[in-house]
Amino acid sequence: MDKKFQKIRNDFPILNQKVNGEPLVYLDNAATSQKPQVVIDEMVRFYQNDNANTHRSVHTLGERATEEYEAARVKVQKFINAASSREIVFTKGTTDGLNLVASTYGENNVVAGDEIVVSYMEHHSNLIPWQQLALRKHATLKYIELTADGQLDLNDANQKITNKTKIVALTQTSNVLGVTNDIKQLAIMAHDHNAVIVADGAQAVPHQPVDVQALDADFYAFSGHKMLGPMGIGVLYGKSNLLKSMPPYQFGGEMIDFVEKYQSSWADIPWKFEAGTQNVAGAIGLGKAIDYLKDIGMQNIADYENQLVDYALPKLLAIPGLTVYGPQDPQYRNGVISFNLTGLHPHDLATALDMDGIAVRAGHHCAQPLMKYLDVVATARASFYLYNNQADIDQLIRAIYETKEFFRL
State which of 260, 294, 328 marks the end of a domain.
Answer: 294
pLDDT in tens, 198-213: 999 999 999 999 999 9
Does residue 57 register a pLDDT over 90? Answer: no
State which of 252, 273, 294 marks the end of a domain.
Answer: 294
Share above pLDDT 70 across residues of the chain, in percent, rounded to a whole number: 100
Quote the distance between the C-alpha of residue 85 and its chain's center.
20
Q: How far apart are CA 239 and CA 156, in angstroms?
A: 27
- Measured between alpha carbons, how far is residue 379 from residues 10, 120, 163 in Å? 31, 16, 37
State which of 235, 265, 294 marks the end of a domain.
Answer: 294
Does residue 1 register a pLDDT over 70? Answer: no
Residue 169 φ then ψ, to 5°: -120, 115
Cβ-contact 345, 378 below 8 angstroms: yes
Cβ-contact 123, 200 below 8 angstroms: yes
pLDDT of residue 2: 65
pTM: 0.97
Q: What are the helix and strand counts (H, E) for the chain? A: 15, 17
Q: Is the domain of 263 the same as that of 326?
A: no
pLDDT of residue 6: 83
Give me the number of domains the chain comprises: 2
Q: What is the mean pLDDT of the chain?
A: 96
pLDDT of residue 4: 79
pLDDT in tens, 103-113: 999 999 999 99
Boundaries of domain holding 335:
3-28+297-406
Q: Give 5's pLDDT tier (boundaries 50, 70, 90).
A: confident
Q: Is the domain of 144 the same as that of 246?
A: yes
**Is 366 annotated in the active site?**
yes
pLDDT in tens, 271-307: 999 999 999 999 999 999 999 999 999 999 999 999 9
Name which of 78-82, 122-126, 263-267, 311-315 the model is least confident about: 263-267
Instruction: Examine residue 379 and state whether it is found in any structural domain, yes or no.
Output: yes
Give the residue-averaged pLDDT of 227-244.
Answer: 98
Instruction: Examine residue 171 and state whether it is found in any structural domain, yes or no.
Output: yes
Among residues 347, 288, 325, the alpha carbon closest in space to that of 150 is found at: 325
Q: Is the domain of 84 the same as that of 101?
A: yes
Cβ-contact 117, 169 below 8 angstroms: yes
The secondary element (H helix, E strand) that includes residue 1 is none
Give the residue-averaged pLDDT of 45-52.
Answer: 96
Give the residue-averaged pLDDT of 135-140.
Answer: 98
Question: 256, 366, 376, 377: which is the annotated catalytic residue?
Answer: 366
Q: Give 376's pLDDT tier (boundaries 50, 70, 90).
A: very high
**Strand pairing class (336-341; 322-325):** antiparallel
Instruction: Examine residue 22 and state whether it is found in any structural domain, yes or no.
Output: yes
Give the residue-averaged pLDDT of 321-342.
Answer: 95
Q: Is the domain of 94 the same as that of 217?
A: yes
Instruction: Examine residue 36 and state whether it is found in any structural domain, yes or no.
Output: no
107-139 burial, b if ≥16 CB within 10 A, otherwise e? eebbeeebbbbbbbbbbbbbbbbbbebbeebeb
Q: Is the domain of 258 the same as that of 353?
A: no
Q: Give 56's pLDDT tier (boundaries 50, 70, 90).
A: confident
Q: Is the domain of 214 the same as that of 110?
A: yes
Q: Is the domain of 258 the same as that of 139?
A: yes
Domain with residue 255: its CATH number is 3.40.640.10
Instruction: Examine residue 94 and state whether it is found in any structural domain, yes or no.
Output: yes
345-364 burial, b if ≥16 CB within 10 A, otherwise e? ebeebbebbbebbbbbbbbb
Q: How far apart are CA 307 and CA 262, in angstroms?
A: 61
The alpha-helical segments, DSSP class H, found in 57-140 are 60-80, 94-101, 107-109, 128-137
Q: How far apart are CA 11 and CA 33, in angstroms?
A: 13
Give the residue-averaged pLDDT of 166-186.
Answer: 98
Q: Is the domain of 210 the same as that of 335?
A: no
Q: How far apart are CA 42 and CA 288, in angstroms?
A: 7
Q: Is the domain of 144 the same as that of 183?
A: yes
Instruction: Examine residue 127 and state whether it is found in any structural domain, yes or no.
Output: yes
237-259 burial, b if ≥16 CB within 10 A, otherwise e? bbbeebbeebebbeeeebbbeee
Q: Is the domain of 267 the same as that of 238?
A: yes
Give the residue-averaged pLDDT of 381-391.
Answer: 97
- Residues 71, 239, 365, 396, Cα dihedral to 10°: -50
Share above pLDDT 90 across residues of the chain, in percent, rounded to a whole number: 95
Q: Is the domain of 73 the same as that of 23?
A: no
Q: Is the domain of 20 the same as that of 105?
A: no
pLDDT of residue 266: 93
Task: Give the 3-state DSSP-derived string for 123-137, with helices as H, strands as E and coil as C.
Answer: CHHHCHHHHHHHHHH
Cβ-Cβ contacts under 8 Å for 287 (sequence gap 6 or more)? 42, 68, 71, 72, 75, 76
Instruction: Examine residue 35 and state whether it is found in any structural domain, yes or no.
Output: no
**DSSP tag of 179:** -
Residue 360 φ then ψ, to 5°: -125, 165
Instruction: Examine residue 136 and state whether it is found in any structural domain, yes or no.
Output: yes
Give the residue-averaged pLDDT of 72-77.
Answer: 98
Domain with residue 315: its CATH number is 3.90.1150.10
